[in-house]
Amino acid sequence: QRAEFDQLRDTPAITLDGTRIMVLTNAGLAVDLENLDMTGAEGIGLFRTEFQFMVADELPKLTAQTALYKLVLDAAGNRPVTFRTLDIGGDKILPYLEPEREENPAMGRRAIRLGLDRPALLRMQLRALLSAAAGRELRVMFPMIATVEEFRRAREMVDREMEWARRRGRTLPRLTRVGAMIECPSLLWHLDALLPLTDFVSIGTNDLMQYMFAADRTNPRVADRYDPLSPPALRALLEIREKCTDTNTPVSICGELAGKPLEAFALIALGFDRLSAPASGVGPVKRMILSTDLKAARRGMEPLLASSASSVRGELESLARKLNL
Ligand code: PEP
Ligand code: MG
C-alpha cells in the first residue's frame, strides 16, 4: 500500500470526471516538513505554530519563531503554507505562560482569546511571520474565532504590524492573506458579516464538531456518541461551503475528517476542493479522489442530507462502494 501511495505522490488529485482537488497536509514541527515531499502534499494547509511553544521550556524568542517560519517556507518552496497563530489553552497548556487551570478549558480563554487579551504575544508572532515571509506570500489564520469583532481586531493587528515594518523600511511579504478558522458554531450564522472581511477561511472540524455536539474531543467516553457523518454536521459544512462559493471566499477543511477517505469522500461530495490532512491521510485521500465520479457522489449525497438518521455513515459506505472506491 505504501508503495502505491508513493506512486501517487506526483499525481495530481483529479476526480474521474475531471475536478481538481487540492490535497494539502497539516504540520507543526520542523520534522514534519519532510512529509511534504514524502506524501506529495501540495502545500501546508495548517501549520500549528503552538507546537514550537509546547516543546519549549520558555517562551520562544522572536528570532527562534522567525527561524522556524523561514524554515517552513523554505521547505515548502512554491507550495502554499497557511500558518495558524498560537492555539493554546484547552487541551494545550503552556506552564510558563498560563499556569492557572480553568474549570472548562475547551471553552476558556484559549487561542485567539488569549492572543487578543495578551496582544504582546500575538504581536511578536505576527512580527516573526511577516519577517520570515519577506518578499514571499504570507498566509496566516486565527484559531477559535467566535465573533466577527474578534476577527476584525486580529486582522487590525496584522495591519498595524505591517505598518510598523514598513516604517522601518523592512521588506514586507509579496502578498499577505489573512483568514479565519471556522471552529465555533456561532460563526455559521454570521458568515455574511465575516466572509467579506477574510481572504480565506478554513474549517477546523475537530473543534467545530466538539462544540456542535457538546462532546469533549479529548474524552473517549463521549467520542462515539455522535458521528460527523450525520445530517446536522454535513448540512452545517454544506452551508459554509455554499456561502463561501457565493462570496468567492476560498475555503478548506483542515480537521482530521479531511484525512479519512470516507469522510473526505463526503467532503468533496459537499463541494469542498481543498483538503488539508494529516500526513498519513494524504495518500489514501488522493487515491479516493482519483477513483471518484464526483457528479455521482454529489447526487448520492443529496438524499442523505435530508435523512432523519443520526448517522449516514453506512449509506455513504454503500455509495462509495457502488462508485467503486
Ligand atoms: C480543528 O479544530 O479541527 C483543527 C484543525 O485545529 P486543532 O485540531 O489544532 O484544534
Ligand atoms: Mg481547533
pLDDT digits (tens, 9 = 90+) for 181-192: 999 999 999 999
Q: Is the pLDDT of residue 1 over 90?
A: no
Atom of ligand 1 nearest to the CA of 256: 3
Regarding predicted confidence, which is higher, 30 or 6? 30
ipTM of the shown complex:
0.99
Give the pLDDT of residue 8.
87
Ligand 1 binding pocket includes 211 (Cβ within 6 Å): no
* pTM given for the model: 0.97
For the stretch 76-126, pLDDT in tens is 999 999 999 999 987 788 888 876 788 888 999 999 999 999 999 999 999
Side-chain-side CA neighbours of 319 within 13 Å: the count stands at 24
Condensed to tens digits (0 to 9), the pLDDT of residues 200-218 reads 999 999 999 999 999 999 8
For residues 6-18, give the mean pLDDT: 93
Band of residue 2 on the pLDDT scale cut at 50, 70, 90: confident
Is 255's C-beta closer than 6 angstroms to any atom of ligand 1?
Answer: yes
Do 163 and 145 meet the contact criterion of CB atoms below 8 Å apart? Answer: no
Q: Whose CA is nearest to atom 6 of ligand 1?
A: 204
Handedness of CA 113, 119, 122, 126 (dihedral sign): positive
8 lines ligand 1 (CB under 6 A): no
**Beta carbon of 46 within 6 Å of any ligand 1 atom:** yes
Q: pLDDT tens digit string along 141-161?
A: 999 999 999 999 999 999 999
Residue type at 87 in one-letter notation: D
Provide the 8-state DSSP code for 96: T
207 lines ligand 1 (CB under 6 A): yes
Beta bridge mates, 180: 142, 201
pLDDT surpassing 90 at residue 57: yes
Residue 203 CA: nearest ligand 1 atom is 3
- How many Cβ atoms are within 10 Å of 94's Cβ, its own excluded? 18
Please say whether the beta carbons of 89 and 127 come within 8 A: no
Note the pLDDT of residue 313: 98
* Dihedral pair phi/psi, residue 167, rounded to 5°: -60, -30
Asked if 234 and 312 count as a contact pair (C-beta separation under 8 A), the reply is: yes
Q: Ligand 1 centre from 136 Cα, in Å?
A: 26
Q: How many CB atoms lie within 10 A of CB 269?
A: 26
As a whole number, mean pLDDT of residues 231-252 equals: 98
Looking at residue 257, its pLDDT comes to 97
- 254 touches ligand 1 (CB under 6 Å): yes
- Ligand 1 atom closest to Cα of 26? 5
- SS3 call for 88: coil
Instruction: For residue 166, report the distance from its CA to the centre of ligand 2, in Å.
Output: 32
